[in-house]
Amino acid sequence: MRLPNHTTSNSDEVPHIAEIAEVKDSSAEIIETYAVKDPYSYVRIIYYNDSNEYLLEIIEPHLGSEERTLLALVKDSLHKILDYEQDALNIMSAEEYLLKGIETFIMSRGYKIDSISKKRIGYYLLRDFTGYGKVDALMHDENIEDISCDGVGIPLFVYHSKYGSIKTTLVFDYEEELNSYIVALGQRGGRQISVSNPILDGTVPEGHRIQATYAREVTTRGSTFTVRRFRNNPFTPIQLIKNGTASPEMIAYFWLGVENGESMIISGGTASGKTSTLNSLALFIPPQMKIVSIEDTREIRLPHQNWIPSTTRSGIREQMHDGKFLGEIDMYDLMRAALRQRPQYLIVGEVRGRETYSMFQAMATGHATYSTMHADSMQSMVNRLENEPINCPRILLTSLQNVIFQSQVRIDDRFVRRMNKVIEVVGFDPDTNELISNSVFDWERSKDRFVYKGHSFLFDRIMEMRSLSYKDMMNEFDRRVDIIRYMVQQDITDHRRIWEIINQYDREPEEIINHVRRGLQEGGLHIDA
């Protein structure tokens, strides 16, 4: 069966390049089919009613026996000559070089091959030489957040943004094949993995984070790898609303907080979407402000020009007297450097060590700071910050204005992400040695809705700074809620377009809000870029 028309491009060649077989299992239900690299690779989601589980199937061009033989010959030929043609490879792109290699090989051997077969062979050649081999389609699927291989002969699992953790049809059947793939992953990220050094942590040039183990040295079922995909298009506040993670009122509240330099920490468990929320809220930083970001792995993506992104660096094996490795640059080093760069906004990917103390000192001296951490309540957050290895005094925590608690929860048969609470840190009670806090928003699980608790100290501070009445403050808040709702209505999810509208409102507030409110009433007006 050929791919359905609604999942393919308009090219007449599409059915010849990628074809799909029928599902013969009577309990199977095709949920969705979508393109990854149209017209070559697709993903099909199948639900099996008898086992109550989803399966993700990769659809790629089918090669006949002659095409497979030709592909193997071309690969073998290119492997032999690549080392001798580095100059040619440096002049032209790798893709151009490989496709030219097919033409040269075919012409020199006198093969006769039609254009569709050439496209199929070219797809696999590029996939295996410049891509990620049999995992390449998963690496390019924007719906996939994590890819996990647990060993030889075990199906790969992915975390899909719509279906949660789901099994795939991909398997590494042979130990040698998987070991070679792990070595290639390490080389792609400039790292080595071997029997003597069987654990790998690294980042590939595209920004994906890789963790891998080699052979059976530390994992009994063979080599493993986990890929945390780096999104090409960063998550935005509008997507948080469309996914049900937050409400328009909450996003408008964060907009006011970030714009006015209120420091925030997004806290929650693994896979709760903390970094996505951090990236989303950073869009509200005014364009002229100087930003410095500090990360282990590059995940923050901003449209701002006045931004210094910095990442840590691993050292070599020789360990120095302070416990670090020679040449290593850790989060603490980057934090010290960042504070000398006089940032107005400081973004720290995740706090977990001694750099956290410096971060809170930066908050106390007026630097708006945003970060993430692992904790599911105020008490557990305070405990983590006070104890080893962070050792931050409780009184210093009052420099933090807002804490967002976020979690992954199950609603019906779906795993979703929700902001459980938005809490303001108001002060410190010396008698009880406790932080004084105020809950601004709560999530009601039974109704899956967000509730404003009736008072915000952020509004009080803005009213005092700008000499606003309560009525004026709430009018300003309502304006921003309307702008957020307008962007949701118009499905504006591109981070640069959202940033433009935010900045337009800063320059021309009356014009933008009038346009937005007309658009909300009529449902069809667009803000010109």
Q: Give mean pLDDT, residues 188-200.
A: 90
- Tell me what pLDDT residue 92 has: 61
- Tell me what pLDDT residue 247 has: 97
Q: Give mean pLDDT, residues 157-184.
A: 94
- Tell me what pLDDT residue 315 has: 67
Q: Give mean pLDDT, residues 100-125.
A: 87
C-alpha distances (whole Å) from 247 to each of 175, 414, 446 are 48, 19, 16
360-376 pLDDT tens trace: 999 999 999 999 999 99
Count of other CB atoms within 10 angstroms of residue 164: 16
pLDDT beyond 60 at 90:
no
The answer to whether the beta carbons of residues 173 and 192 sit under 8 Å apart is no
The answer to whether the beta carbons of residues 262 and 284 sit under 8 Å apart is no
- Tell me what pLDDT residue 12 has: 38
pLDDT beyond 60 at 265:
yes
- Tell me what pLDDT residue 97 has: 80
The answer to whether the beta carbons of residues 206 and 194 sit under 8 Å apart is no
Q: Give mean pLDDT, residues 142-163.
A: 94
Residue 423 three-state SS? strand
The answer to whether the beta carbons of residues 384 and 392 sit under 8 Å apart is no
C-alpha distances (whole Å) from 286 to each of 255, 418, 514 are 10, 26, 22
Give the residue, 2 or 36, on which the prediction is more confident: 36
pLDDT beyond 70 at 183:
yes
Enumerate the β-bridge partners of residue 201. 211
CA distance 116 to 498: 41
The percent helix, strand, coil of the chain (3-state, each to 5) is: 40, 25, 35
Q: Choose the weakest-confidence range: 16-25, 80-89, 147-156.
A: 80-89
The strands making up 368-373's β-sheet, listed across from edge to edge, are: 307-311, 291-295, 345-348, 368-373, 264-268, 402-411, 414-429, 434-444, 449-452
C-alpha distances (whole Å) from 17 to each of 2, 6, 66, 295, 463 are 10, 16, 16, 41, 62
The answer to whether the beta carbons of residues 141 and 147 sit under 8 Å apart is no
Mean pLDDT over all residues of the chain? Answer: 88
| H helices, E strands: number in the chain | 17, 18
Q: Give mean pLDDT, residues 228-247.
A: 90
- Tell me what pLDDT residue 85 has: 58
- Tell me what pLDDT residue 413 has: 75
- Tell me what pLDDT residue 107 has: 83
The answer to whether the beta carbons of residues 285 and 291 sit under 8 Å apart is yes
Q: Give mean pLDDT, residues 191-220.
A: 90
Q: Give mean pLDDT, residues 90-115.
A: 80
Q: Give mean pLDDT, residues 148-160.
A: 96
206-229 pLDDT tens trace: 888 899 999 999 999 999 999 988
CA distance 121 to 99: 9
What is the distance, to the nearest Å, from the Cα of residue 147 to the centroid of all Cα atoms in its chain?
13
Answering whether pTM is above 0.85, one says no
pLDDT beyond 80 at 72:
yes
Radius of gyration from C-alpha coordinates of the chain: 26
Identify the DSSP state of 115.
H
pLDDT beyond 70 at 87:
no
- Tell me what pLDDT residue 261 has: 96
CA distance 155 to 135: 12
CA distance 228 to 158: 10
pLDDT beyond 70 at 525:
no
pLDDT beyond 60 at 5:
no
Q: Choose the weakest-confidence range: 94-108, 138-152, 253-267, 454-468.
A: 94-108
Phi, psi (deg, nearest 5) at residue 147: -125, 130
CA distance 504 to 512: 7
Residue 444 three-state SS? strand
127-139 pLDDT tens trace: 999 999 999 999 9
CA distance 181 to 133: 8
CA distance 217 to 198: 7
272-313 pLDDT tens trace: 999 999 999 999 999 999 999 999 877 888 999 999 999 887
Phi, psi (deg, nearest 5) at residue 93: -65, 155
Amino acid identity, position 79? H
Confidence of residue 201 (pLDDT cuts 50, 70, 90): confident
Count of other CB atoms within 10 angstroms of residue 377: 14
Structure tokens at 149: 């291989």
CA distance 406 to 87: 51
Three-state SS letters, 269-285: CCCCCHHHHHHHHHHHC
Q: Are strands 434-444 and 414-429 parallel, antiparallel or unpaired?
A: antiparallel
The answer to whether the beta carbons of residues 376 and 404 sit under 8 Å apart is no
Nearest CA-CA partner of 111 in 143, 75, 70? 70
- Tell me what pLDDT residue 209 has: 86
407-466 pLDDT tens trace: 999 888 778 899 999 999 999 998 898 999 999 999 999 999 999 999 999 999 999 999
- Tell me what pLDDT residue 3 has: 36
C-alpha distances (whole Å) from 14 to each of 119, 124, 217, 431 are 11, 16, 44, 72
- Tell me what pLDDT residue 322 has: 62
